[in-house]
Amino acid sequence: MSTPRLIVMAAFPGGNLIDIAGPLQAFETASEISGGAAYRLLTVSESGGPIVTSPGLTITTLPLAALGGETIDTLIVPGGLPRSGVFDLDLLIAWLAKNAARPRRLCSVCTGAFLLADAGLLAGKRITTHWSRVDELKRRHPGLDIEPDAIFVEDDGVWTSGGVTAGIDLALALIEADFGHEIAIATARQLVMFVKRPGGQSQFSAPLSLQSARTGRFAALHGWIAAHLDQPLTVERLAEKAGMSPRSFARLYVAEIGSTPAKSVELIRLEVACRTLTETDLPLKRIAVDSGFGSEQNLRRVIQRRFGVAPADYRARFGSA
């Protein structure tokens, strides 16, 4: 091994503890496996000193100024977006903007992507963030190329990752890029992790269809769809139920919901299928019929396309049994 690579974690009060500790533990484990010479770890904050993370655990940090002229291999910004949606970290954002060229790699975990975006460092890059904050990031920074289902994304030295534990997936990918698959797999085994977990973030997200089903112009229609999944749910049939012409219905539906009626029907079918899959032991064939997919093959195909895993794997991960 050569000179240890400096990993800097740019923490802040209220940051997600796992976003900070998870990646650092992966790098520390890789160092132990490689004889203690792979990485050197520093955790910094705007002014240094103790900071309280979101679950209330206090960690010790160095001030940004302590980095001086250090050669930074990898800079990581964790997540922890406040309820207000505003980080109130002007000093850190300004430092990121000024020092973006110093690290060989610039990384974010979860909503840490908001800080990189606020610093103007994500324009023109393919990125990701926590699945639940994708729309908010798009609103704050229109034009960003966000891959909402990705566990992590790398684009020209900028690495962004999805929610919380995805920071460990990111760290394992960085370790593999630095020292090869053997060190990465040994680190993953020690952490009891996949080197690359199957599927994307969407398998962990709340079903999307009913987020819009409870309110708005089409709330009653969504409830009716959920109760009649075993029937043909064409645009004409839905328009009739909504008391509109098919043309007007299709136009108004897309304007309010943001997707076509056909896509929403599939999402509601999928939500019901997934709920049945995880809460019962009914066979997949029966679930497919009850949810309106018609055949087991159709349901398998949709779950694989949507979540990147097979139905059996989805049931094993999220089932109540």
Local confidence band at 56 (pLDDT 50, 70, 90 cut-offs): very high
pLDDT attached to residue 42: 97
**Mean pLDDT to the nearest integer, 111-134:** 93
Q: Which residues of the chain does CATH 1.10.10.60 include? A: 209-318
pLDDT attached to residue 209: 45
Q: Please name which of 12, 98, 102 lies closest in space to residue 59, comparing C-alpha atoms.
A: 12
**Mean pLDDT to the nearest integer, 248-261:** 89
pTM of the predicted structure, to 2 decimals: 0.69
Q: Please name which of 75, 144, 145, 142 lies closest in space to residue 106, comparing C-alpha atoms.
A: 75
Q: Which residues of the chain does CATH 3.40.50.880 include? A: 5-202
pLDDT attached to residue 216: 66
According to the per-residue pLDDT averaged within each range, which of 27-36, 213-222, 301-310 is highest? Answer: 27-36
**Is the CATH code 2.60.40.10 the one for domain 5-202?**
no
Instruction: For 209-318, give the CATH class.
Output: mainly alpha
Alpha helices in 144-217 (DSSP H): 166-179, 181-191
Local confidence band at 35 (pLDDT 50, 70, 90 cut-offs): confident
Question: Is the Cβ–Cβ distance between 96 and 115 less than 8 Å?
Answer: yes
**Mean pLDDT to the nearest integer, 100-120:** 95
Question: Is the Cβ–Cβ distance between 38 and 31 less than 8 Å?
Answer: yes
pLDDT attached to residue 52: 94
Higher local confidence (pLDDT), 181 or 101: 101
pLDDT attached to residue 26: 95
Local confidence band at 201 (pLDDT 50, 70, 90 cut-offs): low
Local confidence band at 199 (pLDDT 50, 70, 90 cut-offs): low
pLDDT over threshold 90, residue 217: no
**Residue 140: partners with Cβ closer than 8 Å, 6 or more residues away:** 85, 114, 117, 118
Q: Please name which of 202, 318, 197, 200 lies closest in space to residue 267, comparing C-alpha atoms.
A: 202
The pair of structure tokens assigned to 183 is: 């060190």
